[in-house]
Structure 1
Amino acid sequence: MLLQTPRLDLRRFRPEDAPALAAYRSDPTVARYQGWTAPVTPAQATELVRGFAAGDPGQPGWFQYAIELRADGRLIGDLGVCLHENLLQAELGFSLAPEHQGHGYAAEAVRAVLRELFEQRGLHRVSAECDTRNRSSARLLERVGFLVEGRRPEYTWLKGEWTDDLLFGLLADRWARTAGGTRPSW
């Protein structure tokens, strides 16, 4: 296991994750603000899982954590970290199956990854961005300590329309001062 919380295991992807990944990434509400288009076919999911499993979380580039519910071992989402070449900053993004949204799982997973990045690896900065209409993701980022650093009007052409992007940043000293936003009980 790469990271654990009381309710979640954040681990490397495995071949048997492909059907669950295809299911939640095929949901139009999950794909709405993401760079992929639903549906994600079983073959595409198999290829994605193969690529995710080959990643190295300690090397520059994207690494995708599988978010698994500890209670029953189900894959409920994924969280990606793009480590910069300088190994001192990263960007993150996340997706969660609709039936598991609203239970605090995404915030729990993001906090676990941020704790690892700041407290174990010594990163200086982590950033994120989202479509301005994606209020639930924006609220989550703010809840775990990110600050809104800017708005880029009509910056991204996505799925046939121009979208506004919100830019978020979190510095190591703010993480240390705020203990990751509202301190989780775990």
Structure 2
Amino acid sequence: MFVTTERLTLRRFRPEDAAAFSAYRSVPEVARYQSWDAPFSLEKATAAARRFGEGDPLAAGWFQYAIDLDGELIGDIGLNLHENLMQAEIGFTLAPAYQGKGYATEAVRGLLNHLFVERNLHRVSAECDARNLASAALLRRLGFRDEGLRLSNTWFKGEWTDDLFFGLLRSDWT
């Protein structure tokens, strides 16, 4: 059910992840394009880690995978499984100290392989703020197609933002 790559493990969140989770979610540059605001308190992180740890990755709705490097939490990937259990949306976050080293690409590639090969999903989608160049580049690197740009589409953190939409089909993955 969980994923292992060359360097990483995608696993359930554990209570001991709360401090690292709070730390990277509290970095303003990390929170900039995400749904939370920095700082992200230890109290919030503890509650979220507990809630995430109890989730079911096979059920419709959001499940949060912890990205683990040698026993240390370095990021997370959210998976929103559609009610039909054949398609999903993903989102990802990585601690700044681990960015630019291929970890996010490796983690997302591992999850996509799991979703398409082992769970036989038909489609995975993602969206991001058009200014989030690193996330858009990662998605394109993994074969996601640009499916659209919506100008001034989302009122987010006090401003209108442009949204990029991406999609990847199982037939394009395998």
Same fold, judged at TM 0.5 (above): yes
Identity of aligned residues (%): 63
CA distance in 2: counterparts of 1:21 and 1:33, whole angstroms = 17
Aligned to 2:31: 31
Once the two structures are TM-superposed, the CA of residue 51 in structure 1 deviates from its matched residue by: 1.1
**Mapping of residues 75-94 of structure 1, within 5 Å:** 75-94=73-92
Aligned to 1:68: 68
Once the two structures are TM-superposed, the CA of residue 121 in structure 1 deviates from its matched residue by: 0.7
Aligned to 1:49: 49
Name the amino acid aligned to 1:131. Answer: D
Matched residue of 1:57: which SS? coil
**Mapping of residues 94-105 of structure 1, within 5 Å:** 94-105=92-103
CA distance in 2: counterparts of 1:134 and 1:19, whole angstroms = 26
Q: C-alpha offsets along residues 75-134 of structure 1, whole Å, 9 cap, x if unaligned?
A: 100001000000000000000000100000000000110001100111100000000000
TM-score (norm 2): 0.98
**Mapping of residues 96-115 of structure 1, within 5 Å:** 96-115=94-113
TM-score (norm 1): 0.92
CA distance in 2: counterparts of 1:139 and 1:74, whole angstroms = 25
**Mapping of residues 1-186 of structure 1, within 5 Å:** 2-70=2-70, 73-176=71-174
CA RMSD of aligned residues (A): 0.8
Once the two structures are TM-superposed, the CA of residue 48 in structure 1 deviates from its matched residue by: 0.7
Unaligned runs of 5+ in 1: 177-186
CA distance in 2: counterparts of 1:96 and 1:58, whole angstroms = 23
CA distance in 2: counterparts of 1:164 and 1:39, whole angstroms = 24
Matched residue of 1:79: which SS? strand
Unaligned runs of 5+ in 2: none
Matched residue of 2:92: which SS? strand
CA distance in 2: counterparts of 1:116 and 1:60, whole angstroms = 16
CA distance in 2: counterparts of 1:51 and 1:162, whole angstroms = 31
